[in-house]
Amino acid sequence: MQQKKQRVAKKACDLVSQCIEKHAQVVGFELGGSYAKGTWLPEKADIDIFVKFNKKTSEKDFRNIGTKIGFQSLKKHKPYTRHAEHPFVEAVIDGTRVNIVPCYDVSRGEWQSATDRSIYHTKFMLQKLSNSLKGEVRILKKFFLHIDVYGAEIAKEGFSGYVSEVLISYFGSFEKTIKKISELKKGQVIGKSTKKFDSPVVIIDPVDNNRNLGTAISMDNLGKFVLASRAFLKKPSKKFFKKPISKRIMKNNDKIVVVQFR
Tens-digit pLDDT profile for residues 111-153: 999 999 999 999 999 999 999 999 999 999 999 999 999 998 8
> Are residues 118 and 158 located together in one domain of the fold?
no
Q: Which domain holds residue 19?
A: 2-127
Domain membership of residue 44 (yes or no) is yes
Residue 6 to residue 78: CA distance in whole angstroms: 21
pLDDT in tens, 12-28: 999 999 999 999 999 99
Phi–psi pair at 92, nearest 5 degrees? -115, 120
Domain membership of residue 262 (yes or no) is no
Number of domains observed in the structure of the chain: 2
Q: Is 121 helix (H, G, I), strand (E, B) or coil?
A: helix
pLDDT at 255: 40
Give all strands (DSSP E) within the chain, no chain letters.
26-32, 47-53, 80-83, 87-93, 96-104, 188-190, 201-205, 208-212
CATH label of the domain that carries residue 61: 3.30.460.10
> Are residues 157 and 101 located together in one domain of the fold?
no
94, 111, 127: which is the final residue of a domain? 127
The one-letter code for the residue type at 133 is L
Strands ordered across the beta sheet of 80-83: 26-32, 47-53, 96-104, 87-93, 80-83
pLDDT at 244: 62
| Residue 242: CB atoms within 10 Å | 10
> Are residues 148 and 222 located together in one domain of the fold?
yes
Domain membership of residue 199 (yes or no) is yes
pLDDT at 81: 96
> Are residues 174 and 111 located together in one domain of the fold?
no
CB 130 within 8 A of CB 124: no
Residue 89 to residue 79: CA distance in whole angstroms: 6
pLDDT at 43: 78
Q: Is 144 helix (H, G, I), strand (E, B) or coil?
A: helix
> Are residues 147 and 90 located together in one domain of the fold?
no
pLDDT at 234: 97
Domain membership of residue 162 (yes or no) is yes
CATH label of the domain that carries residue 211: 1.10.1410.30
CB 5 within 8 A of CB 47: yes
CB 181 within 8 A of CB 190: no
Phi–psi pair at 9, nearest 5 degrees? -60, -45
106, 127, 148: which is the final residue of a domain? 127
Residues of the chain with pLDDT under 50: 246, 248-258
pLDDT at 44: 79
> Are residues 114 and 138 located together in one domain of the fold?
no
